[in-house]
Structure 1
Amino acid sequence: MRTVYVNGSFVPEDEATVSVFDRGFLFADGVYEVTSVLDGKLVDFAGHCGRLRRSLGELQMTLETTDEELLAIHRKLVSENAIEEGLVYLQVTRGAADRDFVFPPEDTPATLVLFTQAKSLIDSDLANRGQKIFTVEDQRWTRCDIKTVQLLYPSLAKMEAKSRGGDDAWLVRDGLVTEGSSNNAYIVLGDGTIVTRDLSNLILHGITRRAVLECARHLQMKVVERPFTVDEAIGAVEAFSTSASGFVCPVIAIDDNRIGTGEPGPVAGKLREVYIAEMRKSAI
């Protein structure tokens, strides 16, 4: 029985409740963050808080809880639930009000929920064997840079990939890969250049993406931020994705086409190794 946090209280998960009038439930009017835990410590917490504040601002949503208070809540949940490796999920909604498309008054208290998930992140079967990806048309709205809780289409895309024997989906808009269903997407060209979509409103500005690209530059790997086609991805020597829970995860096939040797490649492997080491050193 986990301890979870709901609106100022730490309670057993079976006692946690949110109003049926909550706008997160009625309108998906909310944002979220997922912070990884390694060795009982939080990975890139400041980065996740910064993106949370940006998402809230883009939706004209307020949260009175400070970053310092959020850190204390995260740490208590990690301690109470004895999480050595796993995740802390945080969700903020615009709060509870009678159903209306118009936002409720500004003084409506936000709903704040956090919970933990114990999960093996470093010893990952998927990272060890590599992902099989299928491409799916990107039919999401065009504010993918806001980390909202409206995740139905990514779920449908992932389920389509699963039904075709894959592990995940990469989304494609106008012939160009945007990102994965819950991750950022990368390819490696024959000369070793790492290519990933440039930041815009069409992709999530990944916290892990930022850290991994910094690792790549420290390793003197060439990085180019630009769109790429599915055909270019299929012709790459390597491909991989990044996310808070997957870190760096190799891709070995796209639409049943083998990528490179069909095995996890050295670039993804090195980046995963260095990223984990750096995050372990800087976790708080």
Structure 2
Amino acid sequence: MRIVFMGTPEFAVPVLDALVEAGHDVVTAYSQPPRRGNRGKTAPSPVHTRAETLGIAVRTPVTLREAEAQAEFAAWNADVAVVAAYGLILPRPVLEAPRLGCLNVHGSLLPRWRGAAPIQRAILAGDAETGVGIMQMEAGLDTGPVLIEGRTPIGRKTVGQLTTELSRMGARLMVQVLADPDSYWPVPQPEQGVTYAPKVTKEETRLRFRLSANEVDRQVRAFHPAAYFEFGGERIRVLGVEVTPDTGAPGLVLDDRLGIACLEAAIRPVLVQRAGRGVMTAEEMLRGFPIPAGTQL
């Protein structure tokens, strides 16, 4: 098929690779414009970088709402547009331009977790399972009918692990659908069970010890590797924790092994990272950077 691909983050890269490996003609890739990174340098998105490596022309419009951008999109004469975490709203002229419309790889079991951060929100909410669906896009936010979906248990997976799994699953399902599109009928989403997954903010990544220990554990996994607490004017990232039955005032350091009381039970960081340093065990950090029992975080 003649395909226009639209995606931005690492989640979308396996989908692009799968389309190329399946022999489809990916005529161009649309991606978000290069952004300024943590060190102040402007860098292209993962999809942008991968598409160029594959010899695919890349387009990075700021918006698709203008007539000129819509005309350029239509001029590709695509059979279908494949979308995976692109990040821009697709106006109706874009949605209707390809012969088969626009198909989206969405990382949740719709209608649960429509929106920008479905994987993080599923972990935070304590969902037992999540999945990925191939959705026929329409004007609403992730409201279109679903052609096929796959499921997986969440367990104790981090957002990175789950994102990789769902991305690969979505890539397989998209290739499967495109191999015989007439065999997949769009099924409207249920009207009940709709939830929304807003974009994660930096403020959310600070650990909230006034939650239960299980909820703090979910914060660590959902925001991995960015979840943190502060001590001595420094941010300490927490990359993994154990939940323990210990109790105390929320945020109180309970012992010399960095047990931290939560609203219910306690957590004990297993892997941590100080600013400008590598990942280490909490025991290794405490040897040179003690956080005494009785400290209130």
Query: TM class by shorter-chain length?
Result: under 0.3
TM-score (normalised: structure 1)? 0.25
Structure number with bigger Rg = 2
